């Protein structure tokens, strides 16, 4: 015969898994997340498809405006006339800005440059104009020093640093800071959200059963500890089931989206090659009557498949991550963190009569979780091997988030083992505290609960 503990866990699990809301959320969430991510990326990159037109009034006498290099995001269009006339014409035009280069503009100390706009000037527009002018003035200074264009081109170097993960045995693996940080951030967010979500489910479930007086009937045949742990373990099983299904569905959705984008990127690369067969372009520039050629810094790969491969290199970098440690560690810290906080959420639900009274007890419990998430994404993500990362990954209340952030970067085995051991000890301690509160609170009605009252319940006998 199964014990009461497993019967309660089974009941909690099956009751929630069979709900229509569980099935809908399990099936729709991966699709909604994928669609939302696609929408965010689409909106974030939509600006790259638009080109601002900036009129340039050059009064410097150095043909600076004619030599400003346009880009896909910004086109410079020289105009003639006085400043007042050009400003009036600009206000009537559809141009996005007016750049004024005053007379007597010096290469050594360029002052008086102004950018007019219809409204406040955006940071993106101002930076694009400043970068174009910085590049032009830098090239002019080097040319004035007697350097030829060939030497100028030779001075320009673009270096791609390949990051390699070298383990203790000397084995090399590809590394990618973007992919590693992205995985770490995603894991921390999942732990943070689901400890809250499933912890609140425990608290509400206990509170509802207490308010309906079902507890009085259940406790006649079940020990309070078995009842509390059964609810916690049953809901934990629901969470793991949902994670597993989401993982399977997410892999399928990601594969489909990746294939879709790969086809589009291949077509884009072919179009770029057809428009630019040589891979480079030179624009004629004039200074003091001499023609100066400038090379386009962005060369198009010769093979469209290579272009697509470069753009999806972040997915290749995932192969270099310790995926086994990440998956196992995530499950351990999800369960450990959930059980630790779930026991405390259950104790809160048992202690109060009204759900509105839970807020005063939730804040001190959830504060370490919120703090670990904030510090995790702001400090630990930038320095996963620092002292802050180490100590927060050892404290049971903060280790579920702190350690999962460190896992993609690689964690020494002894630190992982010590952290898990301390998390187990912390879980046992919180379960003991929660059980002492739970056994008294589930049968306590009509009394205003304070922290002093809770401390007394810890030492009640029986």
> In this structure, are 254 and 361 located in the same domain?
yes
Could you tell me which of 442, 218, 416, 242 has the C-alpha nearest to residue 336?
416
DSSP state at residue 145: T
The tokens of 113 are what?
């440059």
- Looking at the fold, whether 398 and 453 belong to one and the same domain comes out as yes
The domain boundary residue, chosen from 141, 170, 192: 141
What's the number of domains the chain is made of?
2
Task: Using alpha carbons, select from 111, 103, 112 the residue that is nearest to residue 60.
Answer: 103
133 and 186, same domain (yes or no): no
Residue 317 vs residues 254, 314, 377: alpha-carbon distances, Å = 16, 5, 21
Sheet order of strands, 114-116 included? 74-79, 52-58, 97-101, 114-116
Domain of 422 in residue numbering reads as: 179-261+318-457
What are the two backbone dihedrals, phi and then psi, of residue 137, each rounded to the nearest 5 degrees?
Answer: -70, -35
**Does some domain include residue 9?**
no
The rounded distance, in Å, linking the Cα atoms of 270 and 274 is 6
Does one domain contain both 132 and 240?
no
- Tens of pLDDT, residue by residue, the chain (462 residues): 356 778 888 888 888 888 888 888 888 777 777 777 677 666 666 655 677 888 888 887 777 778 788 877 788 888 888 888 888 888 888 888 888 888 877 777 777 788 888 777 777 778 888 888 888 887 777 777 777 667 767 766 666 665 555 555 555 555 566 677 778 888 888 888 888 888 888 888 777 777 776 766 776 777 777 778 888 888 888 888 887 887 777 777 666 666 665 555 555 545 444 444 444 343 333 334 333 333 344 444 445 444 444 444 445 555 667 778 888 888 899 888 888 888 888 888 877 776 666 777 788 888 988 999 899 888 888 888 889 999 999 999 999 999 999 888 888 889 999 999 999 999 888 888 888 887 777 777 666 777 777 777 777 765
- Are residues 341 and 209 part of one domain? yes
Burial 197-225 (b: 16+ CB within 10 A, else e): ebbbbbbebbbebbeeeebeebeeebebb
- The CATH number assigned to the domain holding 77 equals 3.40.190.10
Question: Cα 137 to the chain's mean position, in Å?
Answer: 38
Structure pTM? 0.61
CA distance 423 to 343: 14
Q: Is residue 159 domain-resident?
A: no
Domain boundary residue among 141, 164, 196?
Answer: 141
Residue 411, domain member (yes or no): yes
């Amino acid at each position: 015969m199964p014990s009461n503990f497993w019967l309660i866990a089974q009941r909690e699990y099956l009751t929630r898994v069979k709900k229509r809301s569980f099935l809908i959320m399990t099936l729709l969430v991966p699709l909604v997340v994928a669609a939302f991510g696609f929408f965010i990326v689409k909106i974030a990159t939509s600006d790259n498809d638009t080109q601002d037109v900036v009129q340039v009034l050059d009064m410097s006498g150095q043909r600076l405006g004619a030599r400003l290099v346009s880009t896909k995001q910004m086109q410079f269009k020289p105009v003639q006339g006085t400043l007042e006339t050009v400003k009036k014409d600009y206000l009537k035009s559809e141009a996005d800005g007016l750049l004024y280069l005053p007379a007597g503009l010096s290469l050594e100390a360029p002052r008086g440059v102004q950018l007019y706009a219809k409204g406040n000037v955006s940071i993106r527009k101002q930076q694009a104009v400043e970068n174009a002018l910085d590049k032009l003035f830098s090239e002019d200074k080097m040319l004035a020093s007697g350097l030829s264009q060939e030497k100028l081109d030779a001075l320009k170097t673009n270096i791609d640093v390949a990051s390699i993960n070298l383990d203790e045995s000397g084995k090399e693996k590809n590394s990618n800071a973007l992919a590693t940080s992205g995985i770490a951030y995603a894991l921390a967010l999942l732990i943070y959200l689901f400890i809250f979500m499933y912890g609140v489910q425990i608290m509400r479930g206990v509170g509802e059963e207490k308010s309906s007086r079902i507890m009085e009937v259940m406790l006649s045949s079940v020990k309070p500890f078995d009842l509390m742990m059964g609810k916690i373990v049953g809901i934990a099983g629901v969470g793991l089931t949902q994670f597993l299904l989401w993982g399977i569905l997410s892999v399928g959705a990601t594969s489909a989206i990746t294939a879709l984008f790969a086809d589009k990127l291949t077509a884009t690369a072919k179009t770029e090659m057809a428009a630019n067969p040589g891979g480079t372009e030179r624009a004629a520039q004039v200074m003091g009557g001499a023609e100066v050629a400038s090379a386009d810094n962005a060369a198009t790969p010769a093979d469209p498949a290579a272009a697509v491969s470069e753009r999806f290199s972040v997915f290749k970098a995932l192969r270099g991550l310790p995926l086994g440690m990440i998956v196992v560690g995530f499950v351990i810290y999800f369960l450990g963190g959930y059980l630790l906080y779930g026991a405390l959420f259950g104790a809160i639900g048992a202690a109060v009569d009204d759900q509105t009274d839970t807020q005063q007890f939730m804040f001190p419990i959830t504060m370490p979780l919120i703090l670990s998430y904030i510090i995790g994404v702001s400090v630990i993500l930038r320095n996963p091997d620092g002292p802050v990362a180490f100590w927060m990954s050892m404290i049971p209340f903060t280790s579920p988030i702190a350690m999962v952030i460190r896992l993609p970067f690689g964690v020494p085995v002894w630190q992982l083992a010590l952290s898990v051991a301390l998390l187990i000890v912390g879980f046992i301690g919180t379960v003991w505290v929660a059980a002492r509160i739970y056994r008294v609170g589930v049968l306590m009605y009509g009394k205003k609960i304070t922290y002093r009252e809770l401390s007394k319940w810890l030492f009640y006998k029986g």
